[in-house]
Structure 1
Amino acid sequence: MTTHPASITFHAAREEDTPAFIALRGKTRENAVSKERLAEVGITADSWADMMRSGSLPGHVCHDDGQLAGYCFGARDTGEIVVLALLPQFEGQGIGKTLLDRVMADLRAQGHQRLFLGCSSDPASRSYGFYRYLGWTATGETDKYGDDVLEFMFNTET
């Protein structure tokens, strides 16, 4: 289990924080997406909050002394990890893994035995090694963005 400094806190995402989620998404080291680009694909603070309010987009966030450091969200109905985003200065501290673990647990509690996500096919990208190291495996499929589809199968014996 990863331990974090006392200044690092985790909690379930709150819909009133969606403007901060949008802003952080444009500040990630790799795969940053601007507010404008998100809006082009239909993702706004209001639409994100609506999905959270409906329960279809569970998520967890991390703060460092009150500053949003990162978040992870999954799709309740499909078992997809929709986004894991972290500010660059918080990389390498186990925060991304903790956020991912929390969302994976939520989706498993919803009955999912298999989760999936889109991940860069470039071995030089941070996400490529990150997910594979944590036990995610390539399915041989690509998503609509050209990313590899990875899956995680929960051990049914635990």
Structure 2
Amino acid sequence: MMGLPFDNLRPRTFIIEALRREDAGSLVPIHAGTFRQPWNEDDFHALLREGNVFGFIAREEGNRGAPAGGFVLARLVLDEAEILTIAVAPQFQRKGVGHALMDATLRHLHNERADMLFLEVDELNIPALGLYRGLGFKQVGKRPGYYETPSGRSAALTMRRDLGRRAGSGR
């Protein structure tokens, strides 16, 4: 009797690491698989050279040769931060990778004593909206017609999470 390949049935575990400049090339295919107007390697290199930009990358644990599963890039200026982009490879979406990346970002910002975090999301991106709302983000603005979609245009929702009060820093 031949054995069955059960390895593909195990849930994949990802480790979250700080993004490095050398990671720029591996971000391109993930971004291209997620966004209609993807960024190129030069875009990522330019951002990663900025002193106030930081990010995290999700790598499959125990599989050194596997491509990254997702990443997040953010910018912190004084006590306010913004998510510049977050992308999860399609095959890893809805498996907790985005949540783990956002959790790492929130912990980093707590350590940096940031007071608030902003992001923009397509109003049609229901999974992302669920993630952000579940993490305590509230809608604070709307840009009509911001995103191009196959059927026209959709709005960008500006969302904010207050970090100072929620993190219990007493500020």
Measured in 2, the distance between the counterparts of 1:51 and 1:8 equals 24
Measured in 2, the distance between the counterparts of 1:46 and 1:26 equals 14
Give the Å deviation of 1:95. Answer: 1.3
Aligned-residue CA RMSD in angstroms?
2.4
Percent identity at matched positions?
22
TM-score by length of 2: 0.72
Q: SS at the partner of 2:113?
A: coil
Measured in 2, the distance between the counterparts of 1:57 and 1:121 equals 25
Give the Å deviation of 1:90. Answer: 1.0
CA contact (8 A) 1:74 1:107 kept: no
| 1:62 partnered with 2:73 | no
Letter in 2 for 1:157: G
CA contact (8 A) 2:26 2:67 kept: no
Task: Write the mapping of 1:82-101 to structure 2, written as runs, cut at 5 A.
Answer: 82-101=84-103
Residue 75 of structure 1 is matched in structure 2 by 75
Change (3 A) 1:7 1:135: closer
Letter in 2 for 1:115: L
Q: SS at the partner of 1:111?
A: coil
Measured in 1, the distance between the counterparts of 2:91 and 2:12 equals 17
| 1:33 partnered with 2:39 | no
Residue 6 of structure 2 is matched in structure 1 by none
Measured in 2, the distance between the counterparts of 1:20 and 1:34 equals 17
Residue 127 of structure 2 is matched in structure 1 by 126
CA contact (8 A) 1:118 1:143 kept: no
Measured in 1, the distance between the counterparts of 2:16 and 2:49 equals 19
Q: SS at the partner of 2:139?
A: strand
Residue 150 of structure 1 is matched in structure 2 by 159
**Number of equivalent positions:** 143
Task: Write the mapping of 1:8-19 to structure 2, written as runs, cut at 5 A.
Answer: 8-19=14-25
Q: SS at the partner of 2:22?
A: helix
Bigger mean CA deviation after superposition, 49-58 or 129-138: 49-58
The structure carrying a bigger strand percent of its residues is 2
Change (3 A) 1:47 1:26: closer
Q: Which has more radius of gyration?
A: 2
Residue 29 of structure 2 is matched in structure 1 by 23
Q: SS at the partner of 2:114?
A: coil
Letter in 2 for 1:16: E
Task: Provide structure 2 residue ranges, at least 5 long, that are not aligned to the other structure.
Answer: 1-9, 147-154
Give the Å deviation of 1:13. Answer: 0.6
CA contact (8 A) 2:110 2:167 kept: no
Residue 41 of structure 1 is matched in structure 2 by none
Letter in 2 for 1:19: G
CA contact (8 A) 2:122 2:156 kept: yes
Q: SS at the partner of 1:79?
A: strand
Give the Å deviation of 1:89. Answer: 1.4
Change (3 A) 1:104 1:9: same
Residue 135 of structure 1 is matched in structure 2 by 136
